[in-house]
Amino acid sequence: MNVLVVGAGAMGRWFGKSLDCDLAFTDADPAVAERAAEQVGGKAVELDTSETFEAVCLTVPLPAVDDAIEDHAEKAETALLDLTGVMAEPISSMAKHAPDKERVSLHPLFGPENAPGNVAVVAAEPGPVTDEILSALKSRGNTLVETTPEEHDEAMTTVQAGAHTAVLAFALSANSVPEGLRTPVYDSLADLTEQVTSGDSRVYADIQAAFDGAEDVAIAAHDLADADPTEFERLYRTAKMKTNRAEDESEDEL
Closest CA to 172 of 188, 156, 196: 196
**Whether residues 139 and 205 fall in one domain:** no
Domain boundary among 147, 181, 212: 147
Closest CA to 57 of 120, 6, 8, 19: 6
**Whether residues 8 and 122 fall in one domain:** yes
Is this model's pTM higher than 0.85 or not? yes
Q: Return the pLDDT at 248.
A: 72
d(CA 85, CA 87): 7
**Whether residues 95 and 178 fall in one domain:** no
Cα Rg of the chain, angstroms = 21
Q: Return the pLDDT at 68.
A: 97
Upstream peptide bond of 116 is cis (omega within 30 degrees of 0):
yes
Q: Is the dihedral of CA 153, 155, 161, 162 positive or negative?
A: positive
Q: Return the pLDDT at 79.
A: 98
The total number of structural domains that make up the chain = 2
**Whether residues 177 and 234 fall in one domain:** yes
**Whether residues 6 and 107 fall in one domain:** yes
User: What's 11's domain CATH number?
Assistant: 3.40.50.720
Tell me which residue range forms the domain holding 30.
Answer: 2-147
Q: Could you read off the pLDDT tens digit of each residue along the chain, which spans 254 residues?
A: 999 999 999 999 999 999 999 999 999 999 999 999 999 999 999 999 999 999 999 999 999 999 999 999 999 999 999 999 999 999 999 999 999 999 999 999 998 988 999 999 999 999 999 999 999 999 999 999 999 999 999 999 999 999 999 999 999 999 999 989 999 999 999 999 999 999 889 999 999 999 999 999 999 999 999 999 999 999 999 999 999 987 777 666 65
**Whether residues 178 and 206 fall in one domain:** yes
DSSP one-letter string for the chain? -EEEEE--SHHHHHHHHH--SEEEEE-SSHHHHHHHHHHHSSEE--TT----EEEEEE---GGGHHHHHHHHGGGEEEEEEE-SS--HHHHHHHHHH-TTSEEEEEEESS-GGG-S-EEEEEEEE--HHHHHHHHHHHHTTPEEEE--HHHHHHHHIIIIIIHHHHHHHHHHHPPP--GGG--HHHHHHHHHHHHHHTS-HHHHHHHHHH---HHHHHHHHHHHHH--HHHHHHHHHHHHHHHHHHHHHHHHH-
**Whether residues 29 and 8 fall in one domain:** yes
Q: Return the pLDDT at 245.
A: 84
**Whether residues 174 and 225 fall in one domain:** yes
**Whether residues 142 and 193 fall in one domain:** no
149 Cα distance to chain centroid: 13
Query: What values do phi and psi take at 229, rounded to 5?
Result: -55, -40
Domain boundary among 83, 112, 147: 147
Q: Return the pLDDT at 61.
A: 93
Q: Return the pLDDT at 251.
A: 63
Q: Return the pLDDT at 212.
A: 92
**Whether residues 170 and 140 fall in one domain:** no
